[in-house]
Chain A
Amino acid sequence: MYYKFSGFTQKLTGSAPAAAYSPQGLRPGVPAEAPAMIFASPTKLASEAGTVVEYMGANRVPDLQRIFQVSDGLPIHLKRGYPDRLLYRTTMALTVGGALYCLVALYIACQPRNK
């Protein structure tokens, strides 16, 4: 009986002698570094420089990554500073105000209607 290691079931399975004599070797390990990220294929034609819409704005992701990885202790929803704070405070104001208004409205709704 000859055996080979089945990559599918991760177990030893029976095999023909020919397959058993060709060692499969170790599974390649997970690469230590992430593979290079490809954002876009290189421009193929010089004439494509005219298509402004698709290439509108350069890749700002590395800059944003730098901004958001600053160690300033700010939580993610406030990391950008003023615009985040403004939106957060507006949302929170509507939340608290709305909850109170809702409780008042429900209290009023609970009152019996006088005929």
Chain B
Amino acid sequence: MAHQAHAYHMVDPSPWPLTGAVGALLLTSGLAVWFHFHSTILLSLGLILLLLTMYQWWRDIIREGTFQGHHTPPVQKGLRFGMILFITSEVFFFLGFFWAFYHSSLAPTPELGGCWPPTGITTLDPFEVPLLNTAVLLASGVTVTWAHHSIMEGEREQAIHSLTLTILLGFYFTFLQAMEYYEAPFTIADGVYGSTFFVATGFHGLHVIIGSTFLAVCLLRQVQYHFTSGHHFGFEAAAWYWHFVDVVWLFLYISIYWWGS
């Protein structure tokens, strides 16, 4: 190991930023080629490359932190800032879709019948499956907090149980939402109501899947003894992300499902 007179982490040269960038290029070009030439080769290649990049990059971060000890307090502080900034950028991402929803729903045009929900749209009952989804995500917020406290107190078995429960609740939400999508009386093509509904809830669902995956990786790491009672930032980052996903759902529920029905 090189001897350095500071606590920061000078990373080894890594190929993953390059492979990730090329993956993004292939994804975007692949999308265009799919639209115009009906070929999905480029798109699939881009997706595979992105998945390989993510797996190896994050695997390397775990190696650097857990196995090589590079995640000193100043380094961890930087990681915390990074995660907070990333989540903030995601907040702004969703803000845009909420803006679009409120733009269309606060002043419904004559083409919609001058009312919201627009004429002809049968909305989903907010007190049926959407309310259950709200309960499921709120419960998962409780279980992830339980998992955090279990890790901090060195309760290995409880941490594994509560983290597993959190992930299962996340899967349950995704399953319920998929059923709702299948059974919905309107589609994404049904005017601005359909567009705002499915784009906002669709991106939220994608983030639930991402969050569940992050938590699943944390579960794997917890089983493999990576987390200690005093140092488990990977889990904390996953928990922050999960709480963010939960809060976005609450806003979605209040705005689109409840007020918008």
Contacts and interface: CB of A to CB of B under 8 A. Distances in A.
A40 B37 CA distance: 56
Contacts of A94: 19, 45, 48-49, 52
B228 A39 contact: yes
B48 A54 contact: no
B68 interface: yes
A102 interface: yes
Contact of A91 (B49, B67, B153): B49
Nearest to B32: A109
A105 B29 CA distance: 9
- The SS class assigned to the A binding surface is helix
A97 to B, nearest CB: 8
Interface in B201-246: 223-226, 228-231
A54 B157 contact: yes
Contact of B230 (A35, A40, A92, A106): A35
B25 A99 contact: yes
A69 B68 contact: yes
A67 B68 CA distance: 9
Contacts of A41: 153-156
Contact of B22 (A37, A59, A95, A106): A95
A72 to B, nearest CB: 11
B19 A91 contact: yes
B195 interface: no
A76 B225 contact: no
Contacts of A69: 1, 67-69
Interface range on chain B (Cβ under 8 Å from partner): 35 or more
B209 to A, nearest CB: 23
Contacts of B11: 76
Interface string A51-65: 100101101110011
A105 to B, nearest CB: 6
A74 to B, nearest CB: 9
Given A41-B154, A91-B53, A60 B224 contact: yes
A68 interface: yes
15 contacts: A37-B231, A41-B155, A41-B156, A56-B223, A57-B224, A60-B224, A64-B67, A65-B68, A71-B1, A77-B12, A87-B56, A98-B42, A98-B46, A101-B45, A102-B29
- Kindly list the 4 A-B residue pairs having the minimum CB-CB distance in the complex, ordered from nearest: A40-B156, A75-B12, A68-B67, A59-B225
Given A75-B13, A76-B12, A102-B42, 18 more contacts: A38-B154, A41-B153, A41-B155, A67-B67, A69-B68, A75-B14, A76-B11, A77-B14, A77-B56, A87-B52, A91-B49, A91-B56, A94-B49, A95-B23, A95-B49, A98-B42, A105-B29, A109-B36
Interface of A: 35, 37-41, 48, 51, 54, 56-57, 59-61, 64-65, 67-69, 71, 75-77, 79, 87-88, 90-92, 94-95, 98-99, 101-102, 105-106, 109
Interface of B: 1, 11-16, 18-19, 22-23, 25-26, 29-30, 32-33, 36-37, 41-42, 45-46, 48-49, 52-53, 56, 60, 63-64, 66-69, 153-157, 160, 223-226, 228-231
